[in-house]
Amino acid sequence: MSANNVSPTGLDMEEVRQELEQFRSTHHSPCRIPTGLWARAAELARRHGVCPTARALHLDYSRLKRKLAQATDHETKTAELPELVELIRPTDTRIPECTIEVEGRRGRMRIQVKGAATAELITLSQRLWEGEE
Q: Encode pLDDT of 63-82 as tens digits.
A: 999 988 888 766 655 556 55
Within a domain: 73: yes
Angstrom distance (rounded) from CA 41 to CA 57: 8
Same domain for 16 and 60, yes or no, is yes
pTM of the predicted model as reported, rounded to 2 decimal places: 0.48
Residue 116: which residues within 8 A CB-CB, separation 6 or more?
A: 94, 95, 98, 124
Are 76 and 101 within one domain? no
Q: Predicted confidence band at 2 (pLDDT cuts at 50, 70, 90)?
A: very low
Of 21-30, 51-60, 96-105, the one with minimum mean pLDDT is: 96-105
Residue 9 lies in a domain: yes
Q: So what's the pLDDT on residue 18?
A: 92
The pLDDT tens digits for 7-16 are: 445 558 899 9
Q: Within a domain: residue 88?
A: no
Report yes or no on 46 lying in a domain.
Answer: yes
Total domain count for the chain? 2
At residue 17 the predicted structure's pLDDT band, cuts being 50, 70 and 90, is very high
pLDDT at 1 (0 to 100): 40
Residue 50 to residue 53: CA distance in whole angstroms:
5
- Tell me the residue range of the domain where 106 lies: 94-130
C-alpha 10/C-alpha 7 separation (Å) is: 5
State whether 70 and 108 are in the same domain.
Answer: no
89: in domain: no
**Same domain assignment for residues 17 and 72:** yes
26 and 73 in one domain? yes
Confidence class for position 59, pLDDT limits 50, 70, 90: very high
70 lies in some domain: yes
Looking at residues 47-56, what average pLDDT do you find? 92
Same structural domain, 53 and 102: no
Same domain, 98 and 75: no
CA distance 133 to 126: 11
